[in-house]
Amino acid sequence: MPSPGGHHGGTLAAIALVVALGAAGATAAALKLRREREADALAARLTQGDPSRGPAIALQYGCAGCHAIPGIRGPGGRVGPPLADLGARVYLGGRLTNTPGNLIRWIEDPRAVDPQTAMPTTGISKREARDMAAYLLTLR
């Protein structure tokens, strides 16, 4: 029979550590999920859009042909800036303060904001621009 500090005691301590680390990992994952949901809810309120629709809209309009966008499959183009942290940026297109309204306006008709921009007018609807803006604002 092993002593209290012997083999079984070490095994129990190791098991307790694994359980504690697993619980900490689960707590961190739950916290991350909560933060993501809060970011989605805030973006939806600010834009009156649905961030969950953003990826499908980006695929439909070929946004990844010019931009690298997290979560969007495609070539991850380098014509436009990567959009990974768009929600944390100060300016859009080097011209507009990054506000939800300006982001929607830029997505919907970038050439009305800056006729010299390389970003094309895509024909995206106001509703789709709101959804895409909501998605992009969750990227921080």
Helix axes 100-108, 7-47, angle to 10 degrees: 70
Q: Quick check: is 1 in a domain? A: no
Q: What three-state secondary structure class fits 52? A: helix
Question: Is position 125 within any domain?
Answer: yes
**Which is more confidently placed, 39 or 106?**
106
Mean pLDDT calculated for residue range 94-101: 91
pLDDT value, residue 17: 59
The answer to whether position 66 is within a domain reads yes
The domain in which residue 18 lies consists of 7-137
Share of the chain above pLDDT 90, in %: 51
In a domain? residue 2: no
Q: Is residue 14 very low, low, confident or very high in pLDDT (cuts 50, 70, 90)?
A: low
- The pLDDT assigned to 1 comes to 47
Task: In whole angstroms, give the CA distance from residue 8 to residue 136.
Answer: 52
Q: Is residue 86 part of a domain?
A: yes
What was the pLDDT predicted at 31?
76
Q: Give the model confidence (pLDDT) of 77-92 as tens digits.
A: 888 999 998 988 999 9
What pLDDT score does 55 carry? 94
- How far, in Å, CA of 135 to CA of 49, rounded? 8
CATH number at residue 60: 1.10.760
Total of domains in the chain: 1
